[in-house]
């Protein structure tokens, strides 16, 4: 069995999760503050991947970033960047597709933090930035961990978006979910089972880890 699709899936999931931590936490914090129409629209757009079929999102990304269209052609000529049928395109698509899995738990956690925590920090002379990193984030660490794990697991099992924008290029865009599909298409059920079992095992360990971590955090909320 070729393990390259497994390693490619793990690499994609890890890179997507790391990038979304940097992107998602600030967005989640802003969305958790006082709501207005603009924020509602932004949150609706972020949530769309949860309700849209993956093939729909993948199709529009394929159209947008195709070198035959204005945006794709501009990216290629200006930055020598091709997102269609490339690993970079998989990362970009995965960020968009997994965005709600990162933002939703963190936004909810921020919204449920008592405002008195931040206000007490301000009265002690701490800046907003210092308060954010030293006071607010440590108080929602379990939610950040859960969001990161959900994002990783969700990206690990992507199929529709990956297939549409990345295709099936060995060593470049052929992730484990695509390998399973290929194996089933060729009636190689043994290989399909091997890939599926590895993904199942990784995901199961991740989910158990989340439950253990959250249980520990509940017992020791200030550690």
Residue 158's CATH number:
1.10.3720.10
Q: Indicate the number of domains in the chain.
A: 1
Supply the mean pLDDT for the chain.
Answer: 89
Q: Which two tokens stand for residue 10?
A: 């793990």
Tokens 């199942």 found at: 200
Residues 99-157: pLDDT tens digits?
999 999 999 999 999 888 888 888 888 888 899 998 999 999 889 999 999 999 999 98
**Dihedral Cα 110, 112, 113, 116, nearest 10 deg:** 130
CB 158 within 8 A of CB 11: no
Q: Would you state the pLDDT for residue 202?
A: 92
Helix axes 4-32, 176-185, angle to 10 degrees: 130
CB 76 within 8 A of CB 82: yes
13: containing domain: 4-219
Residues 25-52: pLDDT tens digits?
999 999 998 778 888 899 999 999 888 8
Q: Would you state the pLDDT for residue 219?
A: 56
CB 152 within 8 A of CB 25: no
């Amino acid at each position: 069995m070729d393990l390259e699709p497994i390693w490619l899936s793990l690499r994609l999931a890890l890179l997507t999760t790391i990038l979304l931590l940097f992107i998602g936490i600030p967005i989640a914090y802003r969305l958790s503050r006082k709501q207005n129409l603009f924020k509602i629209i932004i949150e609706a757009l972020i949530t769309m991947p949860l309700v849209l079929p993956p093939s729909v999102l993948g199709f529009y990304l394929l159209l947008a970033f195709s070198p035959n269209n204005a945006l794709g052609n501009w990216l290629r000529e200006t930055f020598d960047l091709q997102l269609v049928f490339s690993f970079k395109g998989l990362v970009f698509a995965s960020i968009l597709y997994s965005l709600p899995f990162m933002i939703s738990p963190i936004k909810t956690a921020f919204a449920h933090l008592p405002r008195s925590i931040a206000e007490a920090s301000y009265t002690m002379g701490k800046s907003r930035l210092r308060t954010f990193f030293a006071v607010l984030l440590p108080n929602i660490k379990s939610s950040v961990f859960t969001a990161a794990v959900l994002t990783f697991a969700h990206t690990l099992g992507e199929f529709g978006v990956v297939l549409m924008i990345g295709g099936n290029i060995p060593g470049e865009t052929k992730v484990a979910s695509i390998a399973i599909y290929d194996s089933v298409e060729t009636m190689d059920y043994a290989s399909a089972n091997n890939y599926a079992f590895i993904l199942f095992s990784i995901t199961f360990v991740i989910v158990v880890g989340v439950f253990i971590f959250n249980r520990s955090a509940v017992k020791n909320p200030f550690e």
